[in-house]
A and B are shown apart, each in its own frame.
Chain A
Amino acid sequence: MGFFDEPFDLMTPPEGRVEGVAKVTGSGKYAAEYKVNGLCHAVLVGSTIAAGTILNINTSNAKQVAGVLGVITHLEKPVVPGMADEEKIKEARFGLPVFHTDKVYFKGQPIALVIAETLEDATYAASLVSAEYREDAKTVDFNGTLGFVSLTPAGKDRGDITALNSAAHSIEAEYNIKAEVHNPMEMHATIAEWTADDKLKLFDKNQGVNNVQRTFAKLFNIPVNHIEVISEFVGGGFGSGLRVWPHALACIMAAKLVKRPVKLMLTRPQMFYSVGYRPASWQKIKLGANADGKFIGIHHQAKNGTSVYENFNEGITRVTRLIYNFDNLKAEAATVPLNLSTPTWMRGPGDCTGDFAIESAIDELSYKLNIDPVALRMKNLALEKNPETGLPWSTNYINECIEKGAQMISWKDRKAAHSQNIEGDWNIGYGMAVGAWNAGRGNASAGIQMQKDGSITVQTAMTDIGTGTGISMQNIAHETTGISKSKIKIELGNSNLPPAPSQGGSNGLSSIGGAVVAAVNALKLKLAEHAALQNEAYKNVAAADILLSDKGISLKTANSQFFISYASLWEKNKLGILEVEASSGPGAERQKYAFCSSAAHFCKVRVNRKTGKVKIERLVTVSDGGKIISEKAAANQMSGAAVGGIGMALMEEQATDERLGTLVGNDFAGYHFPVNADAPIIEVAFINKPDPNINPQGSKGLGEVGIIGTAAAIANAIYNATGKRLRDLPITPDKVLLG
């Protein structure tokens, strides 16, 4: 086991990620790929109606199929203690009480699970399960329903919003964004094995093994450490793995029923209604400024879709309080229940939705004011302190992001008025927008094991969903120990390793980095303890004064005579494998400072007047993520997020059919996200200045800010090119033509 390149140990791999060889050779194992003896397969059956009650389920045909081992429905199922009755189900807060209700809340809701020897047997048998229902009224139409729910305050008012009435210039507009689906390339999958009556082993796709562990310990009423969760290679998440979803519980129930290990992988169509999505949203913004462009205030209203069985509030107006100085601010929000599965956090949750509206409105205002959009933003940025809490920013270089981005894209080439840059059928335009995200940090632990030859293995339970947790841990361990990278291995994504928070909200590296530094310090002290037996000088030294290398330990302050090789240290002290574990987390600095990551996005588009096609010619992303730990992985994160932003701006849309109460086009033919040719080579740069307070390594999370603002930059560029202000996403060619 190890998140590194085991089989190719003997050769020198090219410089890259710790798990690079495992990924390019296909040897890295994702959840559904482990070889488990006696494994059988489970396939979910979804409801064919969107709302109602199951009257009767016919499973007898399915059971006759050769190879079928069992069928689970709400009528016949193994016991889940944490869902024994209504009360417990409520307490569990698991969301959909899968197989514990006869109610149907959305189309595709699992109503049965077929377990069989092979995937083919299970898939075929599942197609033979049928049900009778009593149907209830339903709706999946967000825009048609949002008028029926009323807004309530989202946070405290600032000042008095009536001040907007005296604004020299103002904008009032509505914005609509269609639901988007995470769709990581790896479909969610679980292999569940009960190794004893009260011991469970899971190979599972998720973004937080400890979260999965805790959830099932509660549901099955067994100790947390009786559940082992292995998620070493995770094929993307973008938020879909931050929750534990019904299919994982279904798989565990199946393993209990057939007393064998069971594998369940969702199909791609099931991915659209089983593991969350970014809900559809509506926003209204009123924004005003005085004649020289100083913002007077903002009124931000937002609604987002949710399911009928759970309330999910996106927090769309949160970002309104973060970036600019608005002396007067009012925010209101509401959720709109629909017969769809529950949405969840998706990359830049809330903020990237809210930011689209704000940054579009500011762009619109800039044309009214006749002030360059860059200058207008510079005038109003909250650069000193967090405008909401009043705490000074620890660091905030959003202005530098803007300056650098403007230079990179050559902003001076932009025409101040729209529709001024035309080549044949194509209109060319430039747009920009900024984004910010509250930079967090959680409590995390890391462990280090050291061998006699000076090689170390750094461990954490945290996953690496592709963000580069592994390579970043290696880099931090290398920098703080001085031990060569080739002698540093990484193990992660396993609940048996030191616990860590889930990997989401751009908190991953911010949290685990501190833990690695703490573990390195613990290792240094432990080595010094042993060294003190050989040399008094090591007694009571501070970690900061201890130097390590590939060969041994020495002291910063003294000369080389204090050097002790690991070999002699191990010999003298009869050491085996030296083990340390340490935790680290946020502290008093959170009371003194505010923390944010930020980014500026610049875009050059070409819009075809005849076809409405939008071609992104250039996309520049400059971000302030504190110190960059792994340049390549960080740049990859940012360019990947920008590609996600192109999807949000131009193509991603989960369509629904109100008459049938269903999703439409729930596969990659019906739901488009950017392919290679849809994106230009994304141009990425960093400010790369450490934040001295957030964590020992000085890095702020990047995953979210990469997508917060991208869609607005694109929409603003389309306006500059064509004079069409398009406020509904995605901006498909029909909207461009009709706009």
Chain B
Amino acid sequence: MKQEYNFSRRFFLKTSSALGALAFIPKGVKAFYEEVKNFIVPKKEQLPLTVSINKKSYAIKADTRTTLLDLLREDLNLTGAKKGCDHGQCGACTVHIDGERALSCLTLAAMVPGKEVTTIEGLANGDKLHPMQEAFIECDGFQCGYCTPGQIMSAVACVKEGHTKSVAEIKEFMSGNLCRCGAYNGIVESIQKVAAK
């Protein structure tokens, strides 16, 4: 039989502040923390959520710990948003939330009901690619393609934000999206092309 502990949020807060209070005895804290960790084997909580992704509404149950990125990739089979770090450090998971660029790995699924999420899968208009997608193909704005969906979502926002006045400005406002293949030449060129339209 699985053990089921159900500690309230209040208990947890108390525990954390107790941890804080014990900070002056480092050894004790460590041991205490291990104890607490072993005790709080939480019951998994599922939240019913209604999320709107690419203008489609999904009524789902999601683990309260689930990020928007994992919801997309693991539960909804929308694998266009990529996981490159899971820590808000690479931009591979960039999506648009209510039209603004956002890192889906730093967004809990529970935060998006009532908002409109757009992923790379929702960028093309049916069979017609978004101009930025076309530009990335024409300018070879990628190699392995793994950072590409994030780059394109950021690039679309970058143009919309008006940060395309110079190569330097584009580079600055695209620096939250890492590309280890170093396809930066083509990324900048793609954005210039779309911005010029």
Contact = CB atoms under 8 A, between A and B. Distances in A.
Given A66-B43, A639-B182, A633 B89 contact: no
B126 to A, nearest CB: 9
Given A24-B148, A235-B146, A16 B140 contact: yes
A128 B37 contact: yes
A636 B145 contact: no
Nearest to B185: A639
A681 B79 CA distance: 31
Interface stretch (B7-15, B21-29, B62-70, B96-104): B62-70
B152 to A, nearest CB: 6
By secondary structure, the B interface counts as loop
Contacts of A633: 140, 143
B111 interface: no
B168 A235 contact: no
Contacts of A237: 144
By secondary structure, the A interface counts as loop
Contact of A61 (B41, B77, B142, B152): B41
B53 interface: no
A26 B180 CA distance: 18
A637 B142 CA distance: 10
B140 A119 contact: no
B180 A676 contact: no
Contacts of A236: 143-144, 146, 180-181
B46 to A, nearest CB: 10
Interface string B36-49: 01100111100000
Given A128-B41, A640-B182, A16 B127 contact: no
Nearest to B172: A677
Contacts of B128: 11
Given A673-B178, A681-B188, A185 B82 contact: yes
A14 B134 contact: yes
A186 B144 contact: yes
Interface in A654-686: 667-669, 673-679, 681-682
A466 B181 contact: yes
A466 B85 contact: no
Contacts of B147: 185
B37 A26 contact: no
Interface string B72-109: 01100111111111110110100000000000000000
Contact of A636 (B143, B168, B170, B188): B143
Given A25-B124, A120-B66, A676 B188 contact: yes
B144 A465 contact: yes
B79 A636 contact: no
B18 interface: no
A70 interface: no
A20 B138 CA distance: 9
A17 B141 CA distance: 10
A675 B129 contact: no
Nearest to B190: A24
A674 B145 contact: no
Contact of A185 (B66, B90, B167): B90
B117 interface: no
Interface string A183-196: 11111000000000
A165 B63 CA distance: 73
A67 B43 CA distance: 10
B175 interface: yes
B175 A120 contact: no
Given A27-B80, A119-B70, A465-B144, A185 B137 contact: no
Given A14-B138, A466-B145, A679-B182, A25 B89 contact: no
B146 A186 contact: yes
A198 interface: no
B81 A183 contact: no
Nearest to A183: B180
B119 interface: yes
B181 A640 contact: yes
Given A235-B144, A668-B178, A679-B182, A35 B137 contact: no
A16 B138 contact: yes
A562 interface: no
Contacts of A632: 140
A120 B144 contact: no
Given A14-B134, A30-B146, A33-B73, A676 B65 contact: no
A184 B43 contact: no
Given A29-B79, A33-B73, A675-B175, A185 B84 contact: yes
Contacts of A465: 143-144
A13 interface: yes
Nearest to A681: B185
A124 interface: yes
A328 interface: no
B144 A466 contact: yes
B177 interface: yes
Contacts of B43: 66
B51 interface: no
A32 B74 CA distance: 9
B175 A676 contact: yes
B44 A17 contact: no
A643 interface: yes
A667 B87 contact: yes
Nearest to A645: B182
Given A466-B144, A681-B188, A24 B180 contact: no
Q: Report which residue of B123, B181, B182 has the largest number of chain A beta carbons within 10 angstroms of its beta carbon.
A: B182
A8 B80 contact: no
A10 B127 contact: yes
A22 B175 CA distance: 24
Interface in A91-146: 118-121, 124, 127-128, 130
Contacts of A128: 37-38, 41
Contacts of B168: 677
A643 B184 contact: yes
Nearest to B79: A33
A223 to B, nearest CB: 32
Contacts of A29: 79
Q: Report which residue of A33, A67, A644 has the largest number of chain B beta carbons within 10 angstroms of its beta carbon.
A: A33
Interface in A165-197: 182-187
B197 interface: no
B108 to A, nearest CB: 11
Interface of B: 2-4, 34, 37-38, 41-44, 63, 65-66, 70, 73-74, 77-87, 89-90, 92, 119-121, 123-124, 127-129, 133-134, 136-138, 140, 142-149, 152, 167-168, 170-172, 174-188
Interface of A: 8, 10-11, 13-17, 19-30, 32-33, 35, 61, 64-67, 118-121, 124, 127-128, 130, 182-187, 233-238, 265, 267-268, 465-468, 632-633, 635-637, 639-644, 667-669, 673-679, 681-682
- Chain A to chain B: the 8 pairs with minimum beta-carbon distance, closest first: A26-B80, A643-B182, A235-B146, A466-B144, A466-B143, A23-B145, A640-B182, A16-B137
8 contacts: A15-B138, A186-B144, A233-B145, A235-B146, A236-B180, A268-B84, A668-B178, A681-B167
Given A268-B90, A466-B142, A633-B143, 18 more contacts: A10-B127, A11-B127, A13-B129, A16-B137, A24-B133, A61-B41, A120-B65, A124-B42, A128-B38, A186-B82, A233-B144, A233-B145, A236-B143, A640-B182, A640-B183, A668-B87, A673-B178, A677-B171
